[in-house]
Structures are given as structure tokens and as C-alpha cells.
Amino acid sequence: MKIAIVGTGYVGLVSGACFSEMGVDVTCVDIDSEKIERLKKGIIPIYEPGLKNIVVRNYEADRLHFSTDLPAILNDMEIVFIAVGTPSGKDGTADLSYVMTVANTIAEHMSKPLLIVTKSTVPVGTSYRIRDLVRKRLDERGLTDLRFDVASNPEFLKEGAAVNDFMSPDRVIVGVESEEAKNLMTKLYRPFVLNNFRVIFMDILSSEMTKYASNAMLATRISFMNDIANLCERVGADVNMVRRGMGSDSRIGRSFLYPGCGYGGSCFPKDIRALIKVAEDAGYEMNVLKAVEEVNNRQKDILFQKFKHHFNGKMEGRTAAVWGLSFKPETDDMREAPSLTLIRSLREAGVSVRVYDPAAMQEARYYLNDSIYYATDIYDAANGADALIVPTEWKEFRLPNWSILKKIMNNHVVIDGRNIYNMEELASYGFAYSGIGQ
């Protein structure tokens, strides 16, 4: 089976590598020629555990190919996936220009039957827009009898766990409108079914909606817990115990109940905005999601507010150490990361900032340039600092040597954005501690 995946980012590269691992012949296509050349040399553009191995292994086995030339390979393919970005456009609407450009290229060059699958996260109805555009172009080219299908196959992988999520999905969602498309997608996902993973077929509109609704539900849990945490802090309850108590109810479950300094990343923030906008366009107001977004924006400011509170508003001339810059551990992605909100506020208040992240240092220079000090490790970052602030819970931050930190820090304050430390333990070393909801 031969497939192409257009867009070789987090989703395109991981999906392409994982399908090739299942024996499918995959060509990953991107317009970024430098990225494609580097991939051919085994240089992976993103930090994603386990990805390099399967990319290199399948490239060397000649099952995974890289190209910048979609027209040249298009007519060898049975399926083409569109996996380009859908960033927030004006008013939060999903910007579909990359998706529609790819659809247009397909329409201009296809001369054999094809299944076009949308893997990017797209507003309800987008696959039909693609179908209509392709049909129109084919008709204009005189190819009125050329058959093609569209399908929707949204992706649910998480960054930092992408390979595992793709290979062992909770479910695969496929939206189709023809038996032929269903048969082809069944064939492609047969290895997953053999491994007992569920493939759920439905209509295209429901498939597109399932993706947004899932992200919206997860983001809602997070904002809800952040609200609960902030209330716990005011009334003296322990949010860590409340979370454990709530999560033990099988109807609620344990995951995605961790309060923190807000959700970031390339998906939740933009997808919540896009779903609010889709609803608006349909004449409906998503009141819950508007509140989810509002709570999250406020939560992203919480570490700065705690820092300000601790120093009674006198921040100018102080130094803050920031551990963790990526929007979550095990990735170098800093899109909409809470660390950015924190660092920008600290800089505006005249605070010197010393940062360290195990994977995102290069990415940080792109976002924050020379305004901060880039440390070589956690202790270098903490050297001379008045406070240690942790927006991202990388594993290597969990058990630092507090005695060393006590010696090298100027003031002994820890502001914990992910509740990974214990207040009593830190007090025993002479640190003042503030976490989320505590």
C-alpha cells in the first residue's frame, strides 16, 4: 500500500514513520526543503522520544521516503493525507489556507482515483470544502469522470508521547462517505485492529467534530481543576488530596485533573478558540468554553502574581530562575507555553531571568532572544536567584539537591507551577514554598 502524508510536522512525521513501521510504503512531503534534506540524513526536526529510531530504520528499509514534490509522486498513491498546520487566524478562526493550498495542488495534478484524507484538525465541514474544491478543479481540467473520495481521520497524539499514542491509540476515528473509502481505511488500519485497538467509523462531520469536542473536554477538565485549586488555596483545602479523591470516582477518572499554570501548546488554545468561532458562525454561543479560555488566560499569569505577592510588589532588580520552558515535558515545543507569559511579565517588571530547559533552549532563543540568561543546567539557572519558578514538570527537576540550592540562591523562594514539590520538605531546608492551590 502506498500513501503520502503532506506536512511533515509533529503529526505528519510521526504518522508517516508509524505507518511505515506497519509495513506501509509512505512518502512524507513538505514545502520546507531544508527540513526534508535533514530528514534524509536522519536529522529529526523536533524533540520527540522514540521518533528518530523508527524514522531512520524505515528510511533505511526504503519504506519511508521524503519529498518536496507532491505533484511528482501524487499519482503513485492510493491515499494522500493532509497534515499541515491549522493555526489560529483572525478572531480565533482556524486558518485553513495551508490545507486548501494542498487540496489545490492535489486537484491540479491528480490523474488517477485517490482517497484524500484530512488529518489536520479542521472545523466541521472542511473535508466537504476540500471535496468541492477538488471536484471543481477536476471538472475545469476536463476530468469530469475522475473519481476521488474524501475522508476525515483526526489525530489524537500528544506531544512528548506521540509515537506511543499513535501506535497504541485509545481509538482511531475515521469519517467516510463511501464504501470504497471505508475499505481503504480499513486496510490501512488493519494492523491496529489486529492489535485490538478500536477503529470507529462514522460520518465525516461527526469525525471532524469529535476531534474538537475531545480537546475541548480535556481543556475543560484542566480549567475546572485550576478553578478548584485556586478556591482550595483560599479556603485551606489541599487540592492534591481533592484531585485524588475526585479521580477515584470511576465516572470521573484520574487523568487530566492536574492543576497547573495553565494549558499551552499548539492544540488546546487554538482549538478552543476555533470551536467557539465555529459555534458563533452557527449562531450558537459556547459559554462553557469561553469560561475555560478565560480561566486559562488568568491561570497563565498565576506564577508571576505569586512572585509579585512574595516580594510585596518590589520586583525591580530581582533575579528569577525559571526551570522548564516547553509547554509540557518531553517536548521542545514552546507554542503558547505558560513560561512565555511568565518570562515576559518578569522582564516587564525589571526582573533578571535565568532559564533552563532540557530540550527547548534553542527554541527559547527564537521566542525570547537575548533578553534572558540561558543556563547550562538547573544549578547554573538558580545561581544568585531570589526565587525558583517551575512552569514545566520535567522529570529531572523533581529531586534537586536542595542543600546546594540553599547555598547558591540569594533568596529562598520556590514557586511551583505543577505541584511537584512538598511544602514541608522545602520548609525543612529553609525555603518558602508556593504551589498551585497552595
Ligand X SMILES: NC(=O)c1ccc[n+]([C@@H]2O[C@H](COP(=O)([O-])OP(=O)(O)OC[C@H]3O[C@@H](n4cnc5c(N)ncnc54)[C@H](O)[C@@H]3O)[C@@H](O)[C@H]2O)c1
Q: Which residues does the annotation mark as catalytic? A: 267
Binding mask 142-161 for ligand UPG (x = CB under 6 A): -------------xxxxx--
Give the one entry of ligand X, ligand UPG, none that residue 263 binds, where binding means its C-beta sits below a cut-off of 5 to 8 angstroms depending on kind.
Answer: ligand UPG
Among 45, 265, 417, 437, the residue binding ligand UPG under the rule CB under 6 A is 265
* Cα 329-335-337 angle, rounded to 5 deg: 55
Give the one entry of ligand UPG, ligand X, none that residue 277 binds, where binding means its C-beta sits below a cut-off of 5 to 8 angstroms depending on kind.
Answer: none
Q: How far apart are CA 245 and CA 118, in angstroms?
A: 40
Among 81, 258, 304, 356, the residue binding ligand UPG under the rule CB under 6 A is 258
- Residue in 162, 157, 170, 158 with CA at minimum distance from that of residue 49: 162
Interface stretch with ligand X, choices 6-14, 220-228, 310-318, 366-374 (CB under 6 A):
6-14
Nearer to ligand UPG, 189 or 431 (CB): 189
264 binds ligand UPG (CB under 6 A): yes
Q: Label residue 424 exposed, middle or buried (CB < 10 Å: 0-12, 13-18, 19+).
A: exposed
6 binds ligand X (CB under 6 A): yes
Query: Which set of grid coordinates corresponds to residue 395?
Result: 522529570
Among 30, 332, 336, 393, the residue binding ligand X under the rule CB under 6 A is 30
Q: What are the phi and psi torsion angles at 373 (to 5°)?
A: -95, 130
CB-closest chain residue to ligand UPG: 267
DSSP states along 118-175:
E-S---TTHHHHHHHHHHHHHHHTT-TT--EEEEE------TTSHHHHHHS-S-EEEE
Contact indicator for 67, 59 with CB cutoff of 8 Å: no
**Angle of the 97-109 helix axis to the 126-140 helix axis, nearest 10:** 30
394 binds ligand UPG (CB under 6 A): no
Centre a 10 Å sphere on the Cβ of residue 1 and count the other Cβ atoms it contains. Answer: 15
CB-closest chain residue to ligand X: 9
Instruction: Summarize as ranges the residues that interact with ligand UPG (CB under 6 A).
Output: 121, 155-159, 215, 218, 222, 256-258, 260, 263-265, 267-268, 327-328
Which residues are annotated binding-site positions for NAD(+)? Answer: 30, 35, 86, 121, 159, 270, 335
